[in-house]
Chains A and B, each alone.
Chain A
Amino acid sequence: ELKVEQNPLFLSMQEGKNYTIYCNYSTTSDRLYWYRQDPGKSLESLFVLLSNGAVKQEGRLMASLDTKARLSTLHITAAVHDLSATYFCAAKPGGATNKLIFGTGTLLAVQP
């Protein structure tokens, strides 16, 4: 059964700094997703990564996927306060299933 883990669980960083959130998954996955969730709100889709070596960037966020290592990363460049939120990765198991399994989440707090 696919399990998805993230680290760190909590990240406090200063504005202007760079950091990376890691997402590991336990078995074959053919799609990897990153979502942002603000307190009390729903999930906002950030990135969809479909293949090994995929890299996507939007603003200060960049996501990558290494299917051989079963690892995805979300890199934050020059953080700003507006990026404060909880970030989830989620993986779809390989094969004919619609399941989407979420990681544990990373609470990001960007301090001025």
Chain B
Amino acid sequence: DTEVTQTPKHLVMGMTNKKSLKCEQHMGHRAMYWYKQKAKKPPELMFVYSYEKLSINESVPSRFSPECPNSSLLNLHLHALQPEDSALYLCASSQDKNRGQGYTFGSGTRLTVV
């Protein structure tokens, strides 16, 4: 299995809703990432988990809450989002920083906040 699987593919939520994005990989990668991508812009790093521990938080607002229940799963919990949070959210995984080469990206969740 050489894929990163993200669900759902599309999500529409109101500003008072709570929802979660899910990401799964079975490549034995020990680093997992959340990126946010606005239209016509590059992906921006949000969070990095390394060996199931949060290692990087790029000053992301607390309405985004990541969780890594085990080495294969990564969640992003969403609460009280704003319309400007509408974007493509990409999950990625890689081997740990001292080995390996590539970052594998999932197909993304297209989030619309209304």
20 more CB-based (< 8 A) A-B contacts, given A43-B90, A90-B103, A98-B97: A35-B105, A42-B90, A42-B105, A42-B106, A42-B108, A45-B104, A48-B102, A88-B42, A88-B43, A96-B98, A97-B56, A98-B31, A98-B56, A99-B45, A100-B33, A100-B45, A100-B92, A102-B42, A102-B44, A104-B42
Q: List 18 A-B residue pairs with CB atoms under 8 Å apart, sorted by A's residue number.
A: A31-B101, A33-B102, A35-B105, A41-B107, A41-B108, A42-B106, A45-B104, A48-B101, A48-B102, A88-B42, A96-B98, A97-B56, A98-B33, A98-B50, A98-B96, A102-B43, A103-B42, A105-B41
The winner among A31, A42, A100 for most chain B CB atoms within 10 A is: A42
> Number of B residues contacting the other chain (C-beta, 8 Å)?
27
Query: Is B48 engaged at the interface, CB distance under 8 Å to the other chain?
Result: yes
Query: Is A110 engaged at the interface, CB distance under 8 Å to the other chain?
Result: no
Contact of A97 among B92, B97, B102, B110 (CB under 8 A): B97
Complex Cα gap A99–B43 (Å): 12
